[in-house]
Amino acid sequence: MLIEHHKNNSKATLKCLSLKQPFAELVIDGRKTIETRTWNTNFRGEFLVHSSKAIDKDSAKKLNIDCHRLTTGALVGRAFLYDVKKYRNRQEYVADQSKHLSNNFSQPKYGFILKDARKLDKPIPLVGKLGFFHVNLHHDDRNILPNS
Protein backbone atom coordinates (compact mmCIF):
# COMPACT_ATOMS: atom_id res chain seq x y z
CA MET A 1 0.00 0.00 0.00
CA LEU A 2 1.39 3.38 -1.03
CA ILE A 3 -0.05 5.42 1.82
CA GLU A 4 0.55 4.85 5.54
CA HIS A 5 -2.24 6.67 7.37
CA HIS A 6 -1.55 8.51 10.61
CA LYS A 7 -4.00 8.25 13.52
CA ASN A 8 -5.53 11.66 12.85
CA ASN A 9 -5.96 10.70 9.13
CA SER A 10 -5.03 14.22 8.01
CA LYS A 11 -1.53 13.17 6.89
CA ALA A 12 -0.03 10.23 5.05
CA THR A 13 3.58 9.02 4.97
CA LEU A 14 4.98 7.71 1.69
CA LYS A 15 8.40 6.50 0.52
CA CYS A 16 10.01 8.59 -2.17
CA LEU A 17 13.05 8.46 -4.47
CA SER A 18 14.56 11.49 -6.20
CA LEU A 19 15.71 11.16 -9.83
CA LYS A 20 17.36 13.66 -12.13
CA GLN A 21 15.42 14.76 -15.15
CA PRO A 22 14.83 13.52 -17.80
CA PHE A 23 14.93 10.17 -15.98
CA ALA A 24 12.06 10.96 -13.59
CA GLU A 25 9.87 11.79 -16.60
CA LEU A 26 10.94 8.62 -18.42
CA VAL A 27 10.07 6.49 -15.36
CA ILE A 28 6.59 7.94 -14.88
CA ASP A 29 5.90 7.62 -18.61
CA GLY A 30 6.82 3.91 -18.41
CA ARG A 31 9.70 4.23 -20.89
CA LYS A 32 12.40 3.63 -18.22
CA THR A 33 11.69 0.43 -16.29
CA ILE A 34 15.05 0.07 -14.53
CA GLU A 35 16.48 2.81 -12.29
CA THR A 36 20.21 2.30 -11.71
CA ARG A 37 22.01 3.09 -8.47
CA THR A 38 25.38 2.37 -6.87
CA TRP A 39 23.61 1.07 -3.75
CA ASN A 40 21.22 -1.79 -3.11
CA THR A 41 17.91 -1.75 -1.26
CA ASN A 42 15.70 -4.30 0.48
CA PHE A 43 12.66 -2.09 -0.12
CA ARG A 44 9.94 -3.47 -2.37
CA GLY A 45 6.68 -1.70 -3.06
CA GLU A 46 5.17 1.54 -4.27
CA PHE A 47 7.00 4.83 -3.90
CA LEU A 48 6.70 8.40 -5.08
CA VAL A 49 8.97 9.66 -7.85
CA HIS A 50 10.58 13.04 -7.18
CA SER A 51 12.24 15.04 -9.92
CA SER A 52 15.36 16.74 -8.61
CA LYS A 53 16.24 20.30 -9.54
CA ALA A 54 19.14 18.96 -11.62
CA ILE A 55 18.66 18.16 -15.29
CA ASP A 56 21.07 15.89 -17.14
CA LYS A 57 21.10 18.02 -20.29
CA ASP A 58 23.39 15.64 -22.22
CA SER A 59 21.02 12.71 -21.63
CA ALA A 60 17.98 14.83 -22.49
CA LYS A 61 19.61 15.82 -25.76
CA LYS A 62 20.54 12.21 -26.63
CA LEU A 63 16.97 11.13 -25.84
CA ASN A 64 15.49 14.06 -27.82
CA ILE A 65 13.73 15.54 -24.77
CA ASP A 66 13.13 19.28 -24.42
CA CYS A 67 14.59 20.33 -21.04
CA HIS A 68 12.23 23.32 -20.87
CA ARG A 69 9.21 21.02 -20.66
CA LEU A 70 10.52 19.03 -17.67
CA THR A 71 9.20 19.57 -14.14
CA THR A 72 11.95 19.92 -11.53
CA GLY A 73 11.97 20.09 -7.74
CA ALA A 74 8.65 18.28 -7.30
CA LEU A 75 6.85 15.00 -6.78
CA VAL A 76 5.82 13.95 -10.27
CA GLY A 77 4.57 10.37 -10.07
CA ARG A 78 4.73 6.97 -8.49
CA ALA A 79 6.11 3.54 -9.37
CA PHE A 80 6.36 0.04 -7.93
CA LEU A 81 9.82 -1.44 -7.23
CA TYR A 82 9.45 -5.21 -7.43
CA ASP A 83 13.02 -6.49 -7.77
CA VAL A 84 16.69 -5.47 -7.80
CA LYS A 85 19.29 -6.77 -10.23
CA LYS A 86 23.02 -6.58 -9.51
CA TYR A 87 25.06 -5.87 -12.61
CA ARG A 88 28.25 -7.92 -12.34
CA ASN A 89 29.84 -6.54 -15.51
CA ARG A 90 29.46 -4.05 -18.35
CA GLN A 91 28.01 -6.71 -20.68
CA GLU A 92 25.03 -7.33 -18.35
CA TYR A 93 24.53 -3.59 -17.99
CA VAL A 94 24.58 -2.94 -21.74
CA ALA A 95 22.11 -5.79 -22.31
CA ASP A 96 19.50 -3.84 -20.29
CA GLN A 97 20.29 -0.42 -21.79
CA SER A 98 16.87 -0.15 -23.46
CA LYS A 99 15.31 -0.46 -19.98
CA HIS A 100 17.57 1.89 -17.97
CA LEU A 101 18.56 4.29 -20.81
CA SER A 102 21.99 5.02 -19.36
CA ASN A 103 25.59 4.64 -20.54
CA ASN A 104 27.07 5.25 -17.09
CA PHE A 105 28.42 1.90 -15.93
CA SER A 106 30.47 1.72 -12.74
CA GLN A 107 30.71 -0.85 -10.00
CA PRO A 108 28.84 -1.56 -7.92
CA LYS A 109 25.70 -1.02 -10.02
CA TYR A 110 22.18 -2.12 -9.13
CA GLY A 111 19.06 -1.98 -11.26
CA PHE A 112 15.81 -1.23 -9.43
CA ILE A 113 13.22 -3.00 -11.57
CA LEU A 114 10.02 -0.97 -11.80
CA LYS A 115 6.45 -1.41 -12.98
CA ASP A 116 3.06 0.33 -12.82
CA ALA A 117 4.54 3.82 -13.06
CA ARG A 118 2.05 6.70 -13.24
CA LYS A 119 2.18 10.47 -13.42
CA LEU A 120 0.57 12.53 -10.65
CA ASP A 121 -2.43 14.65 -11.63
CA LYS A 122 -0.30 17.69 -10.79
CA PRO A 123 3.27 18.08 -9.45
CA ILE A 124 3.80 18.81 -5.75
CA PRO A 125 6.82 21.08 -5.10
CA LEU A 126 9.28 19.41 -2.73
CA VAL A 127 12.98 19.45 -1.92
CA GLY A 128 14.46 16.00 -2.53
CA LYS A 129 16.95 13.93 -0.57
CA LEU A 130 19.41 11.15 -1.29
CA GLY A 131 18.22 7.55 -1.15
CA PHE A 132 14.69 6.57 -0.24
CA PHE A 133 13.13 9.11 2.07
CA HIS A 134 9.72 9.64 3.65
CA VAL A 135 7.27 12.29 2.56
CA ASN A 136 4.29 13.47 4.61
CA LEU A 137 1.32 14.45 2.47
CA HIS A 138 -1.68 16.31 3.76
CA HIS A 139 -5.19 15.12 2.92
CA ASP A 140 -5.56 17.62 0.04
CA ASP A 141 -2.31 16.45 -1.61
CA ARG A 142 -3.37 12.78 -1.47
CA ASN A 143 -6.28 13.57 -3.80
CA ILE A 144 -3.89 14.06 -6.72
CA LEU A 145 -2.39 10.56 -6.49
CA PRO A 146 -3.49 8.47 -9.48
CA ASN A 147 -5.67 5.46 -8.78
CA SER A 148 -4.18 1.99 -9.21
Banded pLDDT at 2 (limits 50, 70, 90): very low
Task: Give the model's pLDDT for residue 9.
Answer: 54
Q: Does the pTM exceed 0.85?
A: no
Q: For residue range 48-104, what is the model confidence (pLDDT) as tens digits?
A: 999 999 899 988 898 889 988 999 999 999 999 999 999 999 999 999 998 998 877
Quick check: 3 pLDDT over 50? no
Task: Give the model's pLDDT for residue 108.
Answer: 81
Mean pLDDT (the chain) is 84
Q: For residue range 129-141, what is the model confidence (pLDDT) as tens digits?
A: 888 888 887 655 5
The sign of the CA dihedral 140, 144, 145, 147 is positive
CATH class for domain 12-142? mainly beta
Task: Give the model's pLDDT for residue 11.
Answer: 65
